Amino acid sequence: MIKTIVYNSVGNTVDYIDQTLLPEKEVVASAVRIEEIAEAILHLRVRGAPAIGIAGAYGIYLAIDKFSGTEDTFFDYLDERSSYLNATRPTAVNLSWAIKRTKKVVLASFTDAEPGKRVESAKQAALREANAILLEDIEMCRKIGAYGAQFVKDGDSWLTHCNAGAFATGGYGTALGVFRAAFEAGRKFHVYVDETRPLLQGARLTAWEMLEEKIPATLICDNMAASLMASGKIQGIVVGADRITKEGYVANKIGTYSIAVLAKYHKVPFYVAAPVSTFDLTISKGSEIVIEERKPEEIIYAGKTLLAPKNMKVYNPAFDVTPPELITAIITNAGVINQPFSENIKKI
């Protein structure tokens, strides 16, 4: 299994695959400071909602590891470092979820320890929690795959957008976890992979994973999806998610909404695969989700190649929101959530 991010006890480092360098080369980078984790998340070296949540938890550990103040300044330090890390990417809820979870355990351990030993106790608690979040994520993805594989039939062709595979998680994947589980069960099917402009996560990452797993797949440009649906070549669609509201509005990589609209028109089932950590039950509507906007250079350039005039105005949202009426079901590690989402999400 691809190890997207792991803790290396030998060097006391957090090691991760630098996803910006794929598919040209597979490079494992190491972080020893919270600033390096923040930089990796901000610049998409680590990306995908569950994966950045895991990175966030390890970032808290690294922050405490480098703490040099007195015990009476620890709380303020932890608050500041947590806020700093949480601000790197605002849309995916897993980051704030993992930071809050780790911080809660850290504060409890700090408070319960003897004076003089509190920082060390908090540091070890942070590491244990980060390791636990990683292992839990892998298990959640396997359960998502098991629940979702039932929808993939022999002879099917499916479509996926962006990368919701091992690279986006602790391992195995959410949307791609569905394909992995179906493939492991012996199903014969095919996957169409959207390239996913502007950063080509589908072309660079999902295509790479499909080849590694030997799952039959074909890469397409984003604007080819409609014609495939119209010709009857797509039997199902599954994507990941970065945040899901309590009414079932789903924020995911830009272009997801377009595919959902096309799927509705062509009567193709549209599924979302995500762990329970991606749900944000504090908000209801999609309009309440903060959508990250990224630098214009991501559209004007492809690597170092200029694609458009440098002085052209650019709109570059990283995500869009798909309303619940366009979604067939949400596949989670706790089971499949069917319509109506406003009632059934609460039950799960």
What pLDDT, in 10s, does the model give residues 43-84?
Answer: 999 999 999 999 999 999 999 999 999 999 999 999 999 999
Nearest C-alpha neighbor of 83 from the set 38, 43, 39? 38
Q: For the whole model, what pTM was predicted?
A: 0.94
The pLDDT of 18-45, averaged and rounded, is 97
Q: Considering 194, 242, 280, 320, which one is annotated as catalytic? A: 242
CATH architecture of the domain formed by 148-347: 3-Layer(aba) Sandwich (3.40)
User: At residue 1, does pLDDT exceed 80?
Assistant: no
How far is Cα 237 from Cα 270, in angstroms, rounded to an integer? 5
* DSSP string for 298-314: HHHEETTEE-S-TT---
The pLDDT of 335-344, averaged and rounded, is 97
The pLDDT of 226-247, averaged and rounded, is 98
Q: What is the pLDDT of residue 225?
A: 98
Cβ-contact 273, 150 below 8 angstroms:
no
| DSSP 8-state code for residue 329 | E
How crowded is residue 170: how many other Cβ atoms within 10 Å of its Cβ? Answer: 27
User: At residue 209, does pLDDT exceed 80?
Assistant: yes
User: At residue 41, does pLDDT exceed 80?
Assistant: yes
Query: Phi, psi at residue 75, to the nearest 5°?
Result: -60, -45
Q: What is the pLDDT of residue 193?
A: 98
How far is Cα 289 from Cα 92, in angstroms, rounded to an integer? 9
Render pLDDT for 113-169 as a digit per residue (tens, 0 to 9): 999 999 999 999 999 999 999 999 999 999 999 999 999 999 999 999 999 999 999
Mean pLDDT (the chain) is: 97
Render pLDDT for 187-206 as a digit per residue (tens, 0 to 9): 999 999 999 999 999 999 99
The shares of helix, strand and coil residues in the chain, as percent rounded to the nearest 5, are 45, 20, 35
Give ranges for CATH 3.40.50.10470 in the chain.
148-347
To the query of whether residue 72 is one of the catalytic residues in this protein, the response is: no
Q: What is the pLDDT of residue 146?
A: 98
The pLDDT of 108-113, averaged and rounded, is 96
pLDDT band at 309 (very low <50, low <70, confident <90, very high): very high
Q: What is the pLDDT of residue 2?
A: 86
User: At residue 303, does pLDDT exceed 90?
Assistant: no
User: At residue 92, does pLDDT exceed 90?
Assistant: no
Give ranges for CATH 1.20.120.420 in the chain.
5-143
H helices within 149-255, ranges in order?
175-184, 201, 207-213, 225-230
The pLDDT of 285-309, averaged and rounded, is 95
Instruction: Write down the CATH number for the domain with range 5-143.
Output: 1.20.120.420
